[in-house]
Each structure stands twice: as structure tokens, then as C-alpha cells.
């Protein structure tokens, strides 16, 4: 299992942002995640925004809730929660570049009085204990090498009865990541070492003073995004190989196309699923 440092994770997001702008309508959806499709979803940007809506609804977020967006990217979810629920949100990311982008977007969209951002490691933050009603993690927790360290910090930050809301990929059943080459290509290409299984999620929550209240399997609803990413990977492969031959490309961007191919193969083989989760601090 390959391990990644915080610097690696920061480099991944900074180096590959251009790919999300090209293929994921980042200016509209403002999110670097799969996106949930339903009968009313017309494009990838709407799918990304729909993920915010679905998780916000499942988690029963209330107006005025104090939210930590742990792994906030360019601030899309933070801005969404401020605009749609009147939440006060602080977003944290390992990327200095993302802090600047997110702060500018919040100002441009008129929510900088409710939303703020800082560069922090979500495994060890500088917030006081019992600060937040909600900790929000959309496709961010899986970069944590030790998920129990992350869950303990989240438990510390949540007020009594506070909730951790997750939208992310999980193994439907436990298996050794070293036995699954497609999963290794997929995860390593995203600066991830391994992901939790569903049973591992329950065990991790229980071991850190939390309980899984709600678990919604929406694997079928990310299929269009899986296919879109696959096609982008196939199309980008030839260009990437030519570019990499003539120029020295960055560590993650030069192989990013391979993740698009591998993630679909792993999806088709049911090696991962997509779930919305509500955990509660006991």
C-alpha cells in the first residue's frame, strides 16, 4: 500500500485542477466530486450540486448550523450551505491555492460574511472542542491514511449530538487493496492509500465514540459520472502520452488519465460503491 504525505495531497489538487476545469464544469458546480444524477439532472455541474442537496437533506441541516467543511476544495459545498441554509461554514484544505480560490468565490457570490477558509490538516485542527454542529466530508476523508485519527478529531470538534455527514466511495465488502490493481491505480492516482469498507466504517465510528445513523447506497446514481470520467481518461490518454514524451509533466497530472480508466473497471467489478452517510456523536 502506497502512502501519501500532506504535501503529496496538496500537489495532487493543485496539479490536476485544470483537468476538473476541462471535464467537470468546475466554474459551475464548484465541486471536485462524482455527482449524483436523478431524473432532473441535465449535466455534470447539476449532478455535483445535487450531491450537496442530497447530503444536506439526509443530514437534516438546519438554518444557522455551524459547519466545518473538512476537505473543502474550492469551497463549493461551503458556499452552497451558506446560500441555501444560512449556515456559518468554515472550510479547510491542505492547498493554499484552494484557500485563495474558495475565498474569492465566496466574496464574488456574496457569502463571505458566512463562509471562511483556512489551510489546515483535518486530522489535527486548531479549533476548540465542541465547536461544530456539523462536520461535512464529501470525497475528502479517504485521503486520510488512518481513518480513526480523523474520526477522533471530528468527534472532538463536534458538539454533543453533532453529526458527521459523508458522501464518498467505500468498499462494499472488505478486501486487501494490494490484491486489486485497478483500485490501486484509481486510488494512488488521487493521492489515496486505501478506503474503508462499509463494515470498517461502522467499526471506525464505534471505536471513536460515534454511531452510523443513516447509510444510503447511491452507487447507481453516480454511473453517468463514472462513464464521463472513463471517456475523459480514454480521450486524454493519447494526448498525455505525447505531452509527457516531449515535456516533463508533474507527478499526478501526467498519469491522471489512468485513474479515469481504472475507476470504471473497478466500478464494473463492484470493488467500490458510493454512499451518503450520517454519523452522530454519542
3-class DSSP state for residue 279? strand
Is 88 in contact with 114 (CB distance < 8 Å)? yes
Q: How many CA atoms lie within 13 A of 231 on its CB side?
A: 9
Is 253 in contact with 162 (CB distance < 8 Å)? no
Does the pLDDT of residue 244 top 90, yes or no? no
Answering whether pTM is above 0.85, one says yes
Is 195 in contact with 7 (CB distance < 8 Å)? no
pLDDT digits (tens, 9 = 90+) for 95-144: 999 999 999 999 999 999 999 999 999 999 999 999 999 999 999 999 99
pLDDT of 241 reads: 56
Does the pLDDT of residue 197 top 60, yes or no? yes
Would you place residue 78 in the very low, low, confident or very high pLDDT band (cuts 50, 70, 90)? very high
Of the chain, the percentage scoring pLDDT greater than 90 comes to 91
Question: In which element (H, E) is residue 273 found?
Answer: strand 273-281
Nearest partner of 65 among 165, 140, 151, judged by Cα: 165
As given in the structure block, the three cell numbers for residue 244 are 509527457
Q: Which residues contact 231 (CB under 8 A, 6 or more apart)?
A: 260
Would you place residue 272 in the very low, low, confident or very high pLDDT band (cuts 50, 70, 90)? very high
Does the pLDDT of residue 249 top 80, yes or no? no
Does the pLDDT of residue 246 top 70, yes or no? no
Residue ranges and CATH numbers for the domains of the chain are 8-174+193-219+270-281 (3.40.50.150)
Q: Which residues contact 242 (CB under 8 A, 6 or more apart)?
A: none
Give me the phi and psi of 74, to 5 degrees please: -95, 15
3-class DSSP state for residue 36? coil
User: What are the DSSP calls for 183-231, one per residue?
Assistant: HHHHHHHTT-----BHHHHHHHHHHTTEEEEEEEE-GGGGHHHHHHHHH
Does the pLDDT of residue 247 top 90, yes or no? no
Amino acid at each position: 500500500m502506497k502512502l501519501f504525505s500532506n504535501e503529496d495531497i496538496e500537489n495532487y489538487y493543485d496539479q490536476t485542477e485544470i483537468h476538473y476545469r476541462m471535464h467537470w464544469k468546475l466554474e459551475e458546480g464548484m465541486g471536485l466530486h462524482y455527482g449524483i444524477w436523478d431524473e432532473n439532472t441535465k449535466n455534470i455541474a447539476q449532478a455535483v450540486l445535487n450531491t450537496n442537496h442530497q447530503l444536506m437533506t439526509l443530514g437534516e441541516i438546519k438554518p444557522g448550523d455551524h459547519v466545518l467543511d473538512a476537505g473543502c476544495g474550492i469551497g463549493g459545498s461551503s458556499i452552497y450551505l451558506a446560500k441555501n441554509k444560512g449556515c456559518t461554514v468554515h472550510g479547510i484544505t491542505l492547498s493554499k491555492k484552494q484557500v485563495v480560490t474558495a475565498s474569492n468565490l465566496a466574496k464574488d457570490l456574496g457569502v463571505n460574511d458566512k463562509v471562511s477558509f483556512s489551510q489546515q490538516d483535518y486530522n489535527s485542527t486548531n479549533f476548540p472542542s465542541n465547536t461544530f454542529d456539523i462536520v461535512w466530508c464529501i470525497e475528502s476523508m479517504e485521503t486520510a491514511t488512518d481513518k480513526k485519527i480523523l474520526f477522533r478529531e471530528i468527534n472532538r470538534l463536534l458538539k454533543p449530538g453533532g453529526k458527521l455527514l459523508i458522501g464518498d466511495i467505500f468498499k462494499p465488502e472488505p478486501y486487501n487493496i494490494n490484491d486489486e490493481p485497478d483500485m490501486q491505480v484509481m486510488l494512488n492516482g488521487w493521492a489515496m492509500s486505501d478506503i474503508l469498507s462499509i463494515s470498517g466504517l461502522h467499526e471506525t465510528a464505534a471505536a471513536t465514540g460515534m454511531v452510523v445513523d443513516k447509510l444510503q447506497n447511491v452507487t447507481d446514481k453516480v454511473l453517468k459520472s463514472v462513464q464521463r470520467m472513463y471517456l475523459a481518461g480514454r480521450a486524454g490518454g493519447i494526448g498525455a502520452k505525447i505531452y509527457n514524451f516531449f515535456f516533463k509533466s508533474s507527478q499526478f497530472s501526467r498519469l491522471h488519465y489512468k485513474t479515469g480508466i481504472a475507476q470504471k473497471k473497478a466500478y464494473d467489478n463492484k470493488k467500490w460503491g458510493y454512499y451518503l452517510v450520517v454519523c452522530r456523536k454519542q
